[in-house]
Structures are given as C-alpha cells and as structure tokens.
C-alpha cells in the first residue's frame, strides 16, 4: 500500500470517527432533553420552581465516553432542545443555570475519568463533580442567577427567601436559602446521578472504554 493510499485510508477512518462522535453527541443530547421534560419537584428540600430530573445521566455518560468537551456540547444541545420543546418560564435563565451547573458536574468527572479509565477513577470523578457542582451552584445562584431572575421576572429577592423559609425555618436571607436549600439539592442530584451511573457501569463498559 502506497503512502498516499494509507493517508486516504486514515482520513476516511478519522472522518467516520468524527461523524460517529457527532451523531452520538446529538443522540445523547436528545435523550437528555426528553429526560429533562420528566422533571419533578422536591418539596421537602427546595421550592417548587426548582425541579429534579435525570437529564445529566446521558451527559455524564457522554463525557465519560467521548471526553469533557463532548459533555459540554451534549449539555448545550439538551438545553437548546428543551427551549424548543418545552419553552421557558424563566426567560431562559433556568436553562442557563442548568447548563452552567451541569457542566460543573460533568466536566470535572470527564477530565478525571479520561486520565485513567477505571471504575475507581469514575467514582472519584463523579465525587469531585458533585462537590464542584454544589460549590459553583452556590456562587452562581448568589451572584448571578437569582439576582438576574429577580430583575428579569420582577420577583423581589425576599420572595425567594420566603419560599425557603416555608421549607426550612432557619432560612432568613438569600445566603441561608442557597446554603440550606440549593446546595443540598445539588449535592443530592449529583449523588443520585452518580449512583445510577455506577450501577450501570458494567453494562456501559464497552461504550466507556474502561477497565
């Protein structure tokens, strides 16, 4: 085989790989968008406008299988599709927050798993992603998302605090609302998604190229 033929063969292989990756990203983004529609409230922890869903599961799987950048694109597709399919009751702020928080979870997990594709690395990555998601969630909610939502939707900040107080009497300002309501919610979400991924790990070994 000539060098020219070998180069063309390599190029065809690379193009097929890129196409396969693009298709997988699109498919996982679509599945995530559907799962996002199946959201439900967690009334014992957060107000009704904050809802739990399992849409980060395909995103995390994609980040493990194709890397953290792919995870970011899946997260983006998920939220864009959700805007098209479900619209937005938050002026797009909820979707922006979901994108930021989701990336905070899957990017650290994907980076750690990419360096050493083992079950142990997956667990460490998901643990770090969960903690980072909760921490970044506190900062983004306190300084960006809630102030922005309050301005765009015309809802006083005190109303958010009142919603938190109705759930936890210790909530008396925005800081305690975020620490006592939003942070535990994000930790719970990360733990649940991580647990499901861990339980599915053996079935996903071929896709994830681990162990």
pLDDT tens-digit series, residues 59-96? 999 999 899 999 999 999 999 999 988 888 788 888 99
Query: Would you mind telling me the total number of residues written for the chain in this entry?
Result: 211
Mean pLDDT of 19-24: 89
Please tell me the predicted confidence (pLDDT) of residue 3.
Answer: 58
Please tell me the predicted confidence (pLDDT) of residue 210.
Answer: 43
Residue 177: name the closest of 204, 121, 207, 137 by CA: 137
E strand or H helix that includes residue 83 = helix 68-86
Mean pLDDT of 182-206: 89
Burial of 19 (0-12, 13-18, 19+ CB in 10 A): exposed
Please tell me the predicted confidence (pLDDT) of residue 10.
Answer: 55
| Nearest-10 crossing angle of helices 56-66, 3-37 | 160
Please tell me the predicted confidence (pLDDT) of residue 157.
Answer: 93
Residue 2 has pLDDT above 80, yes or no: no
| 30's tokens | 């679509």
- Please state, rounded to an integer, the average pLDDT across all residues of the chain: 89
Place of tokens 């900062």: 139
Please tell me the predicted confidence (pLDDT) of residue 211.
Answer: 45
Report the alpha-carbon distance of residue 21 to residue 25 in Å, rounded. 6
Please tell me the predicted confidence (pLDDT) of residue 20.
Answer: 86
| Nearest-10 crossing angle of helices 93-115, 119-140 | 150
User: What is residue 179's DSSP assignment?
Assistant: I
- Cβ-contact 51, 42 below 8 angstroms: yes
The rounded Cα 127 to chain-centroid distance in angstroms is 14
pLDDT class of 130 with cuts at 50, 70, 90? very high
The rounded Cα 199 to chain-centroid distance in angstroms is 18
| Tens digit of each residue's pLDDT (9 = 90 or more) over 148-192 | 989 988 889 999 999 999 999 999 999 999 999 999 999 999 999
User: What is residue 173's DSSP assignment?
Assistant: S
Please tell me the predicted confidence (pLDDT) of residue 200.
Answer: 85
């Amino acid at each position: 085989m000539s060098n020219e033929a070998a180069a063309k063969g390599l190029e065809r292989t690379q193009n097929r790989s890129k196409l396969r990756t693009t298709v997988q990203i699109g498919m996982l983004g679509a599945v995530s968008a559907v799962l996002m529609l199946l959201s439900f409230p967690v009334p014992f922890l957060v107000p009704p406008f904050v809802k739990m869903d399992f849409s980060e599961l395909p995103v995390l799987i994609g980040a493990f299988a194709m890397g953290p950048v792919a995870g970011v694109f899946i997260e983006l597709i998920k939220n864009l599709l959700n805007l098209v399919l479900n619209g937005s009751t938050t002026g797009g702020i909820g979707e922006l927050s979901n994108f930021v928080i989701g990336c905070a979870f899957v990017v650290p997990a994907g980076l750690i798993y990419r360096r050493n594709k083992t079950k142990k690395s997956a667990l460490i990555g998901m643990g770090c992603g969960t903690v980072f998601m909760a921490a970044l969630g506190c900062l983004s909610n306190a300084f960006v998302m809630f102030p922005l939502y309050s301005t765009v939707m015309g809802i006083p900040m005190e109303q958010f605090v009142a919603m938190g107080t109705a759930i936890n009497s210790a909530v008396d300002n925005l800081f305690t609302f975020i620490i006592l309501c939003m942070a535990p919610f994000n930790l719970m979400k990360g733990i649940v998604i991580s647990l499901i991924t861990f339980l599915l790990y053996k079935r996903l070994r071929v896709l994830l190229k681990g162990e």
